[in-house]
Amino acid sequence: MPAPRRNRFEPRRAEAYQAYRALVRAARPILTESGGTRSSIHAIAERADVGLGSF
């Protein structure tokens, strides 16, 4: 039986999911520290070490 074909988008989805998880992990402490009112997308993306466009 041949191996199932991989979707050409699977690697991209995996990378996007990793960026998502990194953003969530970075956002929690930033939102907690600032109370959620003075947090910036830039600070979260920087702490997550992902591009701002990933947000």
pLDDT at 41 over 70: yes
Separation CA 23–CA 39 (nearest Å): 13
Angstrom distances, CA of residue 23 to CA of 4, 5, 41, 53: 32, 31, 10, 12
Separation CA 16–CA 49 (nearest Å): 13
pTM score > 0.85 for this model? no
In this predicted structure, what is the pLDDT of residue 37?
A: 81
55 closest CA partner among 28, 16, 13, 12: 16
Mean pLDDT of 38-53: 91
pLDDT in tens, 8-39: 777 788 888 999 999 999 999 999 988 878 88
Provide the pLDDT confidence category of residue 42 given band limits of 50, 70 and 90: very high
